[in-house]
Amino acid sequence: MNDDLIETNETEEIEDIKETGDIGNTEEDTGDTEDDYLAGYEEETRRRVDREARRKSMQKAKQRQLLFRKYWAFILIAILVCVTLIIVAVSGLIKHKADAARADAETVEALVVPIEDADTEEEAGDSKEAENGDDSGDRTSDEDLYIDSEYGPFKELYSEEKDAFFEGYEVVEGEQVAVPSEEDVRSTYSVLIDADEGTIIEAKGADQKIYPASMTKIMTILVAAEHVTNLDDTFLIDLSITDYAYSNDCSAVGFALGETVTVRDLMYGTILPSGADAAVALAEYVAGSEDRFVEMMNDKLEELGLSDTAHFTNCIGIYDDENYCTITDMAMILKAAVENDLARQILNAHKYTTSRTTEHPDGIEISNWFLRRIEDKETGGEVMCAKTGFVAESGSCAASYQLSDSGKHYICVTADAWSSWRCIYDHVALYSEYAK
């Protein structure tokens, strides 16, 4: 504003001089003309404007200096805090990478068998084979399964229930096959079989192709149970196991990378929480690879006489157009599993806690939620074994085995319900209505 005032006053003064010709006595004293005076006056004005601009610039600089002196401590603290945070972040990243590298190294070290130990084990294996007259060296060979007992290696688990079952795995329709109403049984597919007589009591789409989802694991546990002889044997969970469950978005027990678990843990983990990590590990333990284990599953289907309408491509139940069966097939697979004492015990368990390990000091508690949820329902008996499953192509499905109050045995399988609870209610309806 001062600049405008100065400029205005100077302009007015110059105009007055031009109009009146009054330039004082300067011209008389110096002999300068009017133009010279005006030029000098304008030069002096410019010098005054320049001085004023420099003064303001100096004032602003001084203000900045004052502000810096006032707040320099806060600025320095902020810089120090930022530097500290950067150092901490970088240190944490370096530590994380170091820990990851150390963990990988420990895992690799655990996986590698020292040469001397390997030689010792091989010699011991050769010695044992020589003693037994067996040159195969295969722990899953049929010759090793049922030694010294007509009941197999787990004779303490023997159940007399199976003695009442009909022989074979081919069922026939009863005199009257019921078809439940849509209001009572909402699942699209359902079948109820009298396991003592081998007759179909109720059926709805029982011979149509479905994708069995995790009911597939009934066959997984059956095949494993036929080949496992030591439940306390151990298996190391490696990256391929954990990645398989994660990449396929499967349910899992929650075993950690590098964790050593027992075969018993794998058996229960396959059924109770439907753990893909346990199922794949069990397959690798029994057969060396999942592909080889799946071949064994299909061999079992052929043995049961179900290979014309059933086929498996994985041991978990991940959707595949070639992983299929009918619900009647699944009922017969469950019958075979119940007839195996070890598989029956696994399918009968309501809860289980895995072995204590470094990674899980208290173990992992797992549950068969179908059995826990149906146990207080009125079914006319006790549901002894069960396995559920879900894929979008077949909805929620379940297979269960019941011992009725009258002492009879029934197997029920349903598929394509909208929820796991709907499966339970459909099984309750079928047992309570048709099982005697």
Which residues does the annotation mark as catalytic? 214, 217, 274
- Tokens for 128? 């044992």
For 246, half-sphere exposure in the C-beta direction (CA atoms, 13 angstrom radius) is 10
Tell me how crowded residue 211 is: count the other CB atoms within 10 A of its CB.
24
**Are the CB atoms for 241 and 281 separated by under 8 Å?**
yes
Measured CA to CA, the distance from residue 84 to residue 363 in angstroms comes to 40
Beta-strand (E) ranges in 124-256?
172-178, 189-194, 199-204, 234-236
Buried b (16+ CB within 10 A) or exposed e, 367-386: ebbbbebbeeeebbbebbbb
What does 384-430 look like in DSSP terms, one character per residue?
EEEEEEEETTTEEEEEEEEEETTS-EEEEEEEEESSHHHHHHHHHHH
Q: What are phi and psi of 219, to 5 degrees?
A: -70, -35
Q: Which two structure tokens, joined as six digits, stand for 131?
A: 């003693």
For residue 174, the one-letter residue type is G
Q: How many beta carbons lie within 10 A of that of residue 346, not counting itself?
A: 27
DSSP three-state, residue 181: coil
- In 314-364, beta strands by DSSP E: 351-353
Which residues, 6+ apart, have CB-to-CB distance to 309 below 8 Å?
A: 207, 209, 325, 326, 329
